Amino acid sequence: MATRKYTIDVLDDAGQEVKRVFTAQPKVGESPVSAELAAVLDAAFRPVPAPAPTPAPEPGTVTPPPPVSPPIVTPPVVVLPPPVVVPPRPAGIHVSQGDNWAEAVRSAKPGDTVWLAAGGVWTTQLADTALRLKGVTIAAYGDGPAPLITVNKGSALTLWRAIELVINGIRFSARQPTAQGVRLLGCEVTVLNGCEITGFTIGLAAEAFGANRGKALNMVNCDVHDNYSQTGDDSHGVYVDACDGIQVRGGRYHHNGWRESQPAGASRMRNHNLYITGESRQLSVTEARISAACSHGLQARCGGQIVGNQFIDNPIHMSFGLVNGAGPIVPGGVTGKITRNLFLGERPLGSDVGVIERRGWAIEASNVKEAEISGNVFANNGPANPQASQAAIKLDLCRLTGKDASTPHPQAKQVIKIGKLAIFENSCTWPSNAPGGPVWVGAACDELRQQSSWPAVDVAAVRASVR
């Protein structure tokens, strides 16, 4: 039988495919298929010759180590802080420490805001009789203490006939009290918000300028304190004359008109925290803290709305409509109400060394056309005072005088006593040294109808119609 050649693929010891050639020669009597199968098996299991040995390196030759794969390092997760958002700088005129704030205000146009940097201190005064500001705002900008305008003596800011002026968050102070701190003459629509005024003879003075009355003065959350005189001149926290529309809302009016160990002299009876003359109109005082005045916490000679305030440790907490001396009155009497106030404690008048002069009443009223005193609390006044009744409410007479002893007051015939006055729902623990205990009704007031909830009322020589 003929010999046949076959080629097959087999795997060597390294696992690689190799080709094997075999022949199949059947024996006598053997089928060709069996011969082919025997040849395939023989080829498949034939030993694979060993590979040739790798020649040894020549002497002095260094075989480099096989390359080592670098370890896989997982980078740490970095959490980035949120981006810092810097607020845009507000539009306006910016004044930094060392700049001239007064010149910046002079250059302002209607609608401008002059921004004073927080923490800045300026010693320049602004008093320009030719300057007529309109629609200008002076305000603080940035973080830190409120900007401070401090002067050695004199006024810090004097403005004539300014219109729509806003002063927001500025401090004014003086090292020597010789003048008004902020002086507004004939100004209209003025707002002081969150301002501090201290160290002057008068903290803020708002008056007419010639025939131009002041209009719409607003003091919101201001701190007016420790204004006094070194020479015995009249001294107040706030003095307002000939102004229509006065609003005092919130804030503190404290310790004005006197200083410890500083003799107040004869002026001590004329120095007050807030002094609003009878030439002014439309007064509103709400939610303020009025304390430790030289004499009166508030003189509301023009009447008005006195609501929700705290009067603390004043020799006389407030007057309403009453004018003594040569000052102007409201012809025909004042109107308004005194309601939901706290009248707490008292202190001696003035600060003269060795002089102890007490007043000790909460409200004194006169020249009242129509008013209401209701919902007030009177508590914790001082010891019995032989010089005054210490009634919580004292209805009195205006004692008007001219500019000299020989001249009568020009409005003497326009003043009234007490017109229609409602006094009700007040709470009083105010002691009285008058006969009859804590509720005292003057004998001359035969038209007074008393309620058990009334506080102590002294009507002096007034014949009042009180319900």
Q: Residue 71 falls within a domain, yes or no?
A: no
How many domains does the chain fold into?
2
Residues 32 and 180 in one domain: no
Q: Residue 210 falls within a domain, yes or no?
A: yes
| Domain housing 33 | 4-44
Q: Are 298 and 362 in contact (CB under 8 A)?
A: no
Q: Which of 22-26, 189-193, 227-231, 360-364 has the lowest mean pLDDT?
A: 22-26
Q: Residue 65 falls within a domain, yes or no?
A: no
Residues 109 and 224 in one domain: yes
Q: Residue 233 falls within a domain, yes or no?
A: yes
Residues 40 and 149 in one domain: no
Residues 132 and 203 in one domain: yes
User: Which tokens hold the place of 378?
Assistant: 């009177």
Residues 115 and 9 in one domain: no
Residues 34 and 145 in one domain: no
The better pLDDT of the pair 421, 204 is held by: 204
> Given a cut of 60, is residue 52 above it in pLDDT?
yes
Q: Residue 451 falls within a domain, yes or no?
A: yes
**Ramachandran assignment for 265, one of left (phi > 0), alpha (psi -120 to 50 degrees), beta (any other):** left
State the amino acid at position 259 in one-letter form: R
Residues 424 and 277 in one domain: yes
Q: Residue 339 falls within a domain, yes or no?
A: yes
Q: Residue 116 falls within a domain, yes or no?
A: yes
Q: Residue 76 falls within a domain, yes or no?
A: no
Nearest to 125 by CA among 168, 197, 181: 181
Residues 16 and 143 in one domain: no
Residues 40 and 138 in one domain: no
Q: What is the largest CA-CA distance in the chain?
A: 175
Residues 19 and 168 in one domain: no
Residues 135 and 248 in one domain: yes
The better pLDDT of the pair 200, 15 is held by: 200
State the amino acid at position 112 in one-letter form: D
- pLDDT one-digit tens code per residue, 173-227: 999 999 999 999 999 999 999 999 999 999 999 999 999 999 999 999 999 999 9
The better pLDDT of the pair 355, 150 is held by: 150
Residues 334 and 396 in one domain: yes
Q: Are 311 and 341 in contact (CB under 8 A)?
A: yes
Q: Are 210 and 186 in contact (CB under 8 A)?
A: yes
- pLDDT one-digit tens code per residue, 103-144: 999 999 999 999 999 999 999 999 999 999 999 999 999 999
